[in-house]
């Protein structure tokens, strides 16, 4: 069952979700090569937003922004293979093809893609493969293939992986770059989601990625906003700056009061940022 936070709640064993305005979002499954992927769609606004989660949580990470987005836009979110309600991958798979399958199943011809961390990498690769289908890109603490991590990043990642593999979820959720120290409600959500969906940890290992897209970023034509939380890792801030320089016309925004999961900690402020971006001609 999907974990939800107010003002979204589950009925019928988590298959139907209601937004604050009463809009219903039913969990559906899109066929992908050798499997299926769970997705939800809501709203009927003239602009479409697709939410792509990070490499640790699943699509419920967007619960805090989902109701307000559903009231203003057509919105799709999905669980990548092995995350949330989607079955685990049994062989390496192409995340770009999976996203294309989800959008086809949801009847989406073009959209603004909002990708968090590894989801930002998926959004970039999709935009390069399907430029005419992408109206805009919002990359949140993005992890894009081709950047070389620092030793600090590798040590921190190894520590986080060790904590998660031993089930020490509370300690993992206190990683200093994910959330600010006082964000107890958001931290409890992270712990609960990881506890309810242990398959999330390690699910991304089956995802195939390209050789690296740095040399192709100049080919991106969609308006692009790069968002980082102010306490996110130095690597993330450095990569965000590089993306701003390499993607034509890209703009970068550092949001105060949060880290890697800024949309968990400051959902209303994050939605306002999205609304402003989507309002631009």
Give per-residue pLDDT as tens, 144-177. Answer: 998 889 999 999 989 998 999 899 999 999 999 9
Compute the mean pLDDT over every residue in the chain, rounded to the nearest whole number.
90
Q: What is the number of domains present in the chain?
A: 1
Has residue 275 got a pLDDT over 90?
yes
**What is the residue range of 224's domain?**
9-275
CATH code assigned at 116: 3.40.50.1820
Asked whether the beta carbons of 3 and 192 are under 8 A apart, the reply is: yes
Residue 111 lies in a domain: yes
Asked whether residue 4 is domain-assigned, the answer is no
Look at the chain and count its residues. Answer: 281
Q: Is the pLDDT assigned to residue 3 strictly greater than 70?
A: no
CA 38, 43, 47 angle in degrees (round to 5)? 100
Helices (H), 173-253: 184-196, 234-246
Reported confidence tier of residue 24, pLDDT bands at 50, 70, 90? low
Whether pLDDT at 73 is above 90 = yes
Within-domain flag for 281: no
Q: What is residue 11's predicted lDDT score, i.e. its pLDDT?
A: 23
Please check whether residue 112 is in contact with residue 48, taking contact to mean a CB–CB distance below 8 angstroms.
yes
Confidence at 124, pLDDT banded by 50, 70, 90: very high
- Of all residues in the chain, what percent carry a pLDDT higher than 70? 90
Give the pairing of strands 28-32 and 35-42. Answer: antiparallel
Say what percent of the chain tops pLDDT 90: 81
pLDDT at 21 over 70: no
Q: Is residue 187 part of a domain?
A: yes
> Does residue 1 sit within a domain?
no
User: 26 in a domain, yes or no?
Assistant: yes
pLDDT at 168: 94
Q: Is residue 280 part of a domain?
A: no
pLDDT tops 90 at residue 1: no
Is 80's pLDDT higher than 60?
yes
List residues bridging with 9 in a β-sheet: 18
């Amino acid at each position: 069952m999907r974990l939800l936070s107010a003002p979204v709640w589950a009925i019928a064993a988590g298959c139907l979700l209601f937004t604050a305005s009463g809009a219903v979002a039913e969990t559906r499954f899109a066929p992908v090569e050798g499997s299926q992927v769970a997705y939800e769609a809501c709203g009927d606004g003239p602009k479409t937003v697709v939410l792509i989660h990070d490499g640790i949580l699943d699509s419920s990470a967007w619960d805090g922004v989902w109701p307000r987005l559903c009231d203003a836009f057509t919105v799709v979110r999905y669980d990548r293979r092995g995350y949330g309600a989607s079955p685990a991958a049994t062989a390496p798979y192409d995340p770009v093809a999976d996203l294309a399958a989800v959008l086809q199943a949801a009847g989406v011809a073009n959209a603004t893609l909002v990708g968090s961390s590894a989801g930002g990498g998926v959004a970039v690769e999709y935009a390069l493969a399907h430029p005419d289908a992408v109206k805009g890109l919002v990359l949140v603490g993005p992890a894009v293939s081709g950047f070389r991590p620092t030793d600090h990043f590798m040590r921190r990642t190894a520590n986080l992986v060790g904590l998660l593999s031993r089930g020490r979820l509370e300690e993992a959720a206190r990683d200093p770059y994910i959330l600010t120290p006082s964000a107890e409600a958001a931290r409890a959500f992270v712990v609960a989601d990881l506890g309810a969906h242990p398959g999330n940890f390690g699910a991304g290992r089956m995802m195939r990625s390209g050789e690296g897209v740095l040399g192709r970023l100049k080919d991106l034509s969609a308006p692009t906003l790069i968002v980082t939380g102010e306490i996110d890792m130095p690597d993330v801030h450095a990569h965000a700056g590089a993306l701003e320089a390499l993607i034509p016309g890209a703009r970068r925004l550092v949001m105060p009061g949060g880290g890697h999961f800024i949309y968990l900690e400051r959902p209303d402020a994050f939605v306002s940022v999205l609304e402003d971006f989507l309002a631009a001609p």
